[in-house]
Amino acid sequence: MQLRNDIRNIAIIAHVDHGKTTLVDQLLKYSGTFRENEHVDERAMDSGDIERERGITILAKNTAVKYGDSTINILDTPGHADFGGEVERIMKMVDGVALVVDAYEGTMPQTRFVLKKALEQKLTPIVVLNKVDRPNARPEEVIDEVLDLFIELGADDNQLEFPVVYASALNGTSGLEPEDQQETMDPVFKTILDHIPAPIDTREEPLQFQVTLLDYNDYVGRIGVGRVVRGTIKVGQQVVVLKEDGSQKSFRVSKLFGFIGLKRIEIQEAVAGDIVALSGMEDLNVGETVCPADHPDPLPWLRIDEPTLQMTFVVNNSPFAGKEGKYITSRRIEERLLKQLETDVSLRVDPTSSPDAWTVSGRGELHLSILIENMRREGYELQLSKPEVIIKEIDGVKCEPMERVQVDVPEEYTGAVMESLGERKGEMLDMSNQGNGQVRIEFKVPSRGLLGYTTEFMSQTRGYGIINHTFEAFEPVIKGQVGGRREGVLVALENGKASTYGIMNLEDRGVIFITPGTEVYAGMIVGEHNRENDLTVNITKEKHLTNVRSATKDQTSTIRKTRDMSLEEALQYLSDDEYCEVTPESIRLRKKILNKNEREKAAKKK
């Protein structure tokens, strides 16, 4: 059995914010991939606007570095549970993983999720303990936690013998001991070359290439990125693509690209073990296998975990429809959703009985809200219903998604957090005192209990708490009401502009969401009521002018700070009879039935 010792394929996996993308930056820098004077952005792999703004990785991306005579293909993956589909599909492209763990925080819910996926694929792990320069770093304890996690997830003997490299990706230092930190990434490179298996050289056999990531280029059309599993592929070669339904389509490979650093370079051929991009076929999709026409041999289809959350996307029909967006028709919205399906493997779009509404299912609130944020930036207008968890029937029993939740809170807030998660049908699994005034508690909570919980958690812990959660499993549905909003809302009575006088009159009734001068329409939600019922209010009311002088005339009117909601907060806030209207410039909340009398009739019928 011949091996290709000149190449290694590795994925970098970790919990969110443990330093994957920063580590890739340093590997690129210290490998000599860039020229001495070349300018490279921080977190160079996070190329999307939203990725840069939020400091998170959303899409899996690949790069390659030269180290000595070897090429190391590196795949950077997202850390958020909502983008788990990105992690699952690239596991087929690599032979090993570098698990990055924060030397202070230790193993987190997402560490468990990504490691489980890697061990299931029998990949070889190495552990990079990052941020060893943090003041409270506890490297020895964290390595024990990692070992416990490996054992708990059923790692085999070879996987348990993982090597450990200690690093501080931010400072660009690494070493084989926590105290011995040198300004180099050599220990990481050497560990990868010594421990990650080299791909088997099968260049003489018939071609097999599986598409794992998709890209698009205006000049060459759709580009499929994947690994040559077997054989050789050349520019100009006639091949067939094997579809999921068993059909075949033939095409000619028009271009082949290899990767080096952040650039794509045109190459003429690639052999087994290489990660490359190819173009020439317009209708290429994730999971499909490219083979020679005389030897069709499909690879197993990529299995991706099912979505857990769904919401309805509806064409905008509010009184302000079409004022701010370019694309508002059902045809344009449907085209955009179907285009998203081509690259996002964990998304589902299903038609409903109405031609103006679609059920969109994803892996979580963040997954769906990033899609919505991208659409509004592109000029789309739409309305969204309250997110709902997907109930699945397993062996005749209705089951709902459960999440593993880990909270880190100062000691004095543990009571409030335990009580609120208990109300949301959370079951406590573990509690440990970190010794520095921080307590770490693990719960198992139904996903629907976590909808909208983050805001409540932040106010309970005065902003000092940290909450992380990841999908655990589908379990039988828990009876009774779980979570949900308790307060009613303030609803505008008529169209017009919100006035300072109108807002001041309502401040005793609750929290206002809009500022003076904002255009409102009848049925739009303008605030939160301090009681449980909804209240229709006149927020456009002006002060009557009289010819009587007022002693306090020169006083300036001051109003309390209004609550400004981000897209995620607005989606979490929704109730069953409400929509969130999203346009390129505004996020508004509204009642599904705008007319006050019709709303009251519908409520009575209920």
Among 462, 356, 421, 6, smallest CA distance to 198 is for 6
| CB proximity list for 153: less than 8 A, separation 6 or greater | 112, 115, 116, 119
Handedness of CA 412, 413, 414, 419 (dihedral sign): positive
Helices first, then strands: H and E counts in the chain = 15, 35
Q: How is 360-407 classified by DSSP, letter by letter?
A: EEESSHHHHHHHHHHHHHTTB-EEE---EEPPEEETTEEEEEEEEEEE
List the beta bridge partners of residue 150: none
Around Cβ 49, how many Cβ atoms within 10 Å? Answer: 11
Question: Residue 350 has which token pair?
Answer: 């299903």
The answer to whether the beta carbons of residues 363 and 403 sit under 8 Å apart is no
d(CA 504, CA 513): 13
| CB proximity list for 69: less than 8 A, separation 6 or greater | 6
Question: Residue 234 has which token pair?
Answer: 């050349």
> Residue 353: what are its φ and ψ, rounded to 5°?
-70, -20
Among 5, 30, 211, 185, smallest CA distance to 98 is for 185
3-state helix, strand, coil in the chain (%, to 5): 25, 35, 40
Find out whether 18 is annotated in a ligand binding site: yes
Find out whether 186 is annotated in a ligand binding site: no
d(CA 464, CA 453): 15
Residue with tokens 């964990």: 346
Residue type for position 133: D
Residue type for position 535: L
Report the SS3 class of residue 458: helix
For 504-514, letters b (16+ CB in 10 Å) and e give bebeeebbbbb
Find out whether 323 is annotated in a ligand binding site: no
Find out whether 529 is annotated in a ligand binding site: no
Helix or strand holding residue 157 (H, E): helix 157-160
d(CA 272, CA 93): 11
Around Cβ 423, how many Cβ atoms within 10 Å? Answer: 12
d(CA 171, CA 103): 15
Q: How is 75-126 classified by DSSP, letter by letter?
A: EE---SGGGHHHHHHHGGG-SEEEEEEETTTBS-HHHHHHHHHHHHTTPEEE
Find out whether 379 is annotated in a ligand binding site: no
Question: Residue 298 has which token pair?
Answer: 């499909």
List the beta bridge partners of residue 126: 98
Find out whether 469 is annotated in a ligand binding site: no
Find out whether 132 is annotated in a ligand binding site: yes
Q: Report the binding-site residues for GTP.
A: 17-22, 130-133
Binding residues: 17-22, 130-133
